[in-house]
A and B are shown apart, each in its own frame.
Chain A
Amino acid sequence: TQLLEQSPQFLSIQEGENLTVYCNSSSVFSSLQWYRQEPGEGPVLLVTVVTGGEVKKLKRLTFQFGDARKDSSLHITAAQPGDTGLYLCAGSGGGADGLTFGKGTHLIIQP
């Protein structure tokens, strides 16, 4: 069974600070996705990483896929209240496989 461990589970910081969220597994994934979910809504895809060592940037968000394709991180620079939400990482084995999700990181950015 593939498992994804996310840390921290909860994070509350002040506006303007930087933060990093981690997603780790003992399994290799063909790709890994990061989603953001608002209360009462479905997850919204932020990014997909495919190649080991890949780094993708989305404005103030930086995503990295580990060299061995077993782990990933999300770094947010100068966090803003609009970044508040549940961040989920999800691994794919490829094809029609469903995604394996971590439990998520609840992020609160205080003004």
Chain B
Amino acid sequence: ETGVTQTPRHLVMGMTNKKSLKCEQHLGHNAMYWYKQSAKKPLELMFVYSLEERVENNSVPSRFSPECPNSSHLFLHLHTLQPEDSALYLCASSFLGPAGYEQYFGPGTRLTVT
């Protein structure tokens, strides 16, 4: 595997379900991000992990819970979601250094909440 991978690519869940999204980066980066992409809105930053510590959560509802066990893996745990949470969820990674601003994205998970 190369780059940033995400699983599953598609997910349909009911409002009472619990599911998790997984992201893995194979680039040797030390920062990882979750973004939400909805129709007609800009990509929205949800969470940032730098060196496995969360540094920003941008007032995301508590029904979204991130986990970063090591610098290569990132999870987004979902529970009691609402239909308006249906969106493309994108994971990204970057290397923090003097030029640490280029983020590389995975293919995303298309989430539908019914």
Q: Point out residues on A near B: beta carbons under 8 Å.
A: 4, 30-31, 33, 35, 40-45, 48, 50, 88, 90, 92, 94-104
Contacts and interface: CB of A to CB of B under 8 A. Distances in A.
Contacts of A92: 101
Contacts, number: 69
A79 B58 CA distance: 38
The 4 closest A-B pairs by CB, nearest first: A98-B45, A42-B105, A96-B50, A92-B101
B75 interface: no
A26 B6 CA distance: 34
B108 A42 contact: yes
Counting chain B residues whose Cβ lies within 8 A of the other chain, the interface size class is 20 to 34
B5 to A, nearest CB: 10
A82 B112 CA distance: 29
Contact of A88 (B41, B43, B110): B43
Contacts of B107: 40-42
Contacts of A43: 43, 90, 105
